[in-house]
């Protein structure tokens, strides 16, 4: 069984197997890949921000919204990919795992 982590990143979203590194993107249906790219693209404005900017109310609200989307996407990955025990979600905006 695989344990995966989904997170936003500077260029492309990251889905990695805790034991083996990045997974093969061909495992992910094209429609879900598009949703992941859209979500990651929306996260780009947050990725480059420092801690002070991330704590501003409007930015914190945006991070919460993006994290909700990310959790839904992590759930979709867990239900679609084979041999997956868990897909954890790492919030790039909060710099922590969200359960």
- The C-alpha atoms of residue 56 and residue 80 are separated, in whole angstroms, by 36
Take residue 77 and report the two structure tokens written for it: 């990955």
Render pLDDT for 7-49 as a digit per residue (tens, 0 to 9). 999 999 999 999 999 999 999 999 999 999 999 999 999 999 9
Per-residue model confidence (pLDDT) at position 53 = 96
Q: What is d(CA 21, CA 89) in angstroms, rounded to the nearest whole number?
A: 15
- Write down the pLDDT at residue 70: 98
- Mean local confidence (pLDDT), 46-57: 95
**Partners of 7 in the beta sheet?**
14, 90
Domain ranges of the chain: 2-98
Measuring CA to CA, how many Å separate 13 from each of 20, 51, 52? 17, 21, 24
**Is the pLDDT confidence value at 86 over 90?**
yes
Buried b (16+ CB within 10 A) or exposed e, 10-43: eeebbbeeeeeeebeeeebeeeebebbeebbeeb
pLDDT band at 99 (very low <50, low <70, confident <90, very high): confident
């Amino acid at each position: 069984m695989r344990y995966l982590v989904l997170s936003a990143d500077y260029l492309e979203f990251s889905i990695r197997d805790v034991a083996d590194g990045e997974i093969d993107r061909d495992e992910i249906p094209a429609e879900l890949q598009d949703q992941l790219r859209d979500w990651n693209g929306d996260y780009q404005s947050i990725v480059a921000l420092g801690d002070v900017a991330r704590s501003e109310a409007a930015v914190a609200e945006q991070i919460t919204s993006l994290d909700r989307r990310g959790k839904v996407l992590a759930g979709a990955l867990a239900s679609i990919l084979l041999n997956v025990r868990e897909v954890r979600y790492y919030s790039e905006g909060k710099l922590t795992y969200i359960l």
